[in-house]
Copies of this chain bind each other. A is one copy, B any other.
Amino acid sequence: VRLYTCVVGPNPAVVTAFLLERGQTVDTVQVDITKGETRMPAFTAINPAGTVPVLEVDGTYIAESVAICEYLDETLPGQSLLGNTALERAVTRMWLRRIDIHFVQPSSSGWRFAEGLEMCRANMYVMPEAAKDFKIVAAQSLAWIDRLMVGKRFICGERVTLADILLYVFVEFGDRAGQTIDKELGWIAGWRQRMTARPLAGAITMPAAA
C-alpha cells in the first residue's frame, strides 16, 4: 500500500495518528496542498474529491480518512483501534459518526468559511455568512460530548479507538486555528492530557503540522 498525504491539515493527521498509535508505517508520497497539487488533474484522477489522504491498494485508491483507517485496521498486524468484536466496532462507529457530524464537520466548515475562506473559495461552494453558526454548533457539540463522557476514560470506555483519534485531532487543530477549546469542559481537558501522553499525539506535535 502507498499513502498519499500531506504534513498540514487535520485529515492527513488522523491517518498519521492512527499509524503512530498502531506503531506501523506505510510508504508515503507527500502531496503539497499549499501549492494546489490536490486540485491538479494528475491528482483528481486518483481522488476526484481533490483531498488527501488517499491510500493506494493494488491500483485502487481509497479516500476519506476513516475509510483508510478502517482498511489499515483490518489489514495491519496488532491491536485493533476499531474493536475486537462486532459490538465493540459498532460502538466505535456510532461515536465516529457522532463526532464527525456534530463536531468535525461544523468545526471544519467554520474554519473553511472564515480563516480558510480564500483558500477554499476556489474549490467548493462557500457559506461565509454561516461560519459563525458552524463554530457555535461545533462548540455546543463538544460540550454535549463532554457531558456524555463523565466516568469514561476514553470515548468508548477503557479502550482507545479511532473515535478518540478523530476527535483529538480536530480538537487540537481547532484549538490552534481560531476555535479555542473551552477550558471549563472538564472531561475533555482530562482526556486531552491522556491523549497527549500517547504515541498518536505525535501527529499533532510534529512541527510541520503545528
List chain A positions with a Cβ less than 8 A from chain B.
48-49, 55, 57-58, 60, 62-64, 66-68, 70-71, 74-75, 86-87, 89-91, 93-94, 96-98, 100-101, 105, 125, 127, 129-130, 133, 136-137, 140, 144, 148
Contact = CB atoms under 8 A, between A and B. Distances in A.
Contacts of A125: 133, 136-137, 140
Complex copy number for this chain:
2
A207 to B, nearest CB: 30
B133 A63 contact: no
Contacts of A55: 90
Given A66-B97, A98-B49, A105-B101, A90 B127 contact: no
A101 B105 CA distance: 8
Nearest to A133: B127
